[in-house]
Amino acid sequence: MLSRRALLAAGLCFPGVVHATEPARADVTFQAFIEALRPDAIARGVTPETFDRAFRGLVAPDAAVLTRTRRQSEFVRPVWDYLVGAVSSGRIARGRARGAALASTLRAIEGRYGVPGPVTLAIWGVESDFGASAGDVPTIRALATLAAAGHRGTLFRDELLAALTILQRGDVTPERMSGSWAGAMGQVQFLPSTYLAHAVDFDDDGHRDIWISAPDSLASIAAYLKDLGWDQALSWGYEVRLPGGFDLARDTGDLAHFTEQGVRRVDGRPLPSRGRASLFLPGGLGAPAFLITDNFEVIRGYNTSDSYALAVGHLADRLGGGPPLAASWPKTAGLGGPGLRQLQIGLAAAGFYDGPTDGRAGPKLREAVRRYQIGAGLPADGYATAALLARLTSRPASRP
């Protein structure tokens, strides 16, 4: 069961792909791959007729898809740059208009799944601009290209078989089954396996239609978040102000504990009295500071990017009438992908980090940075900078 997050791992590459200098061999290899897939598809209940219709006219890999995979690992933006596009004034206005038009549907979905309407609406907005930009790459073509390349073991092959299962069930035709270059489908950008596990028919027309139906798309998002563990008693998080002298080493605890330590929401409202949270400083000290709850991690279950989860959370707040962020972002960006990879390697060698060296930020790397900063006597904000990497290289801290 994989969502769009499985497609965003850094370093997508295709060793063994036959390039354009050998077109005849590439076409033969691609066709052989498709034919080798037939027995497994039939074993899953896909009829020969459905199989042949799905692959009709597909004779070669999609070169544009392969080009996108080679560019993917180079694309890194600071969180504030990501927020500019994801939470733009235009998107907020469109989202509020769509929310008003679908108010009764959103209330019904929230009543069934316990996920607030603005959160569901925000994911819809970030994934497809409220259904307006769902992607037009044929899903079978995209997945067949990726699967034939053999990337990440059987991931894309399994997703291709799941897509054929969807076609066999009749929820969509091959002509309408489309989405991103990497096989994520429709207005919600589900991979086929995620669709099979979580998509719902909310408008009761007999089909789980995430390509055309707004009710099905919104309800499928909410159902997925519920299955990932959404706690309806909590927000995703809160922008906060830290008191002077706050101990950054104590970054996790009950919300009541943070209140006792003098942490306050920037909007003046009190923090909830129950639930746990952790301090999140995506731009370091002086930039916007957040207390994030377990629901932030639920959003990351949809897409593992910190920037994505923060954008969804903040967009949800804005769609619900909340203000812009109070604090300003820093003038200079933190480390990009190559620098983050060097930092991961250095922290691993020093005994602070045991995750993948993939050049991607996330909770595990943030915690490793914090532990290094504590050992080095630095403010433990978890923010990866060029200065931090230079210090690690020249003066390793004490091992944890």
| Token pair recorded at residue 197 | 């596990």
Query: Beta strand 276-280 with 289-292: parallel, antiparallel or unpaired?
Result: antiparallel
Query: Beta strand 237-241 with 137-138: parallel, antiparallel or unpaired?
Result: unpaired
| Token pair recorded at residue 181 | 């270059």
CA 258 to chain centre: 28
| Token pair recorded at residue 344 | 């991961």
Rounded Cα distance, 381 and 378, in Å: 9
Which residues partner with 332 through β-bridges? none
Q: Pick the catalytic residue: 110, 127, 239, 367?
A: 127
Within 8 A by CB and 6+ apart from 197, the residues are 1, 227
- Asked if residue 177 lies in contact with residue 139, where contact means CB atoms within 8 angstroms, the answer is yes
Q: H-helix or E-strand containing 137?
A: strand 137-138
Q: Where are the beta strands (DSSP E) in the chain?
A: 137-138, 178-179, 237-241, 252-254, 264-265, 276-280, 289-292
Rounded Cα distance, 99 and 125, in Å: 11
Rounded Cα distance, 61 and 137, in Å: 13
Closest by CA to 252, choosing from 309, 282, 292, 286, is 292
DSSP conformation letters of 54-102: HHTT--S--HHHHHHHHHHTT----HHHHHHHHT-HHHHHHHHHHHHHT
Rounded Cα distance, 201 and 42, in Å: 26
Q: How many residues does the chain have?
A: 400
Rounded Cα distance, 189 and 217, in Å: 10
| Residue 127 annotated as catalytic | yes
Within 8 A by CB and 6+ apart from 394, the residues are none
Residues labelled as active-site residues: 127
